[in-house]
Structure 1
Amino acid sequence: VNKISGILSYYCTITEMIDSYTKDNRDKSRK
């Protein structure tokens, strides 16, 4: 169970990084 929760938190962190990264790219492409 600890392994699964660790993977989930790791996955959530990566998705958050990708989400903020794509948002930054969208803002740059708008300008």
Structure 2
Amino acid sequence: RFSPWPFSFNQELLATANERQLRLLGKHPEMAYG
């Protein structure tokens, strides 16, 4: 689970922070994935 942090982290963020990041980083979607 913590091995592929880039994959698991992205999945959790997209599922949990998907809306939050889209709102906070509405104009900075690249930063959310960076």
Normalised to the residue count of structure 2, the TM-score between the two structures is 0.36
Normalised to the residue count of structure 1, the TM-score between the two structures is 0.38
Q: Identify, as 1 or 2, the structure richer in helix.
A: 1
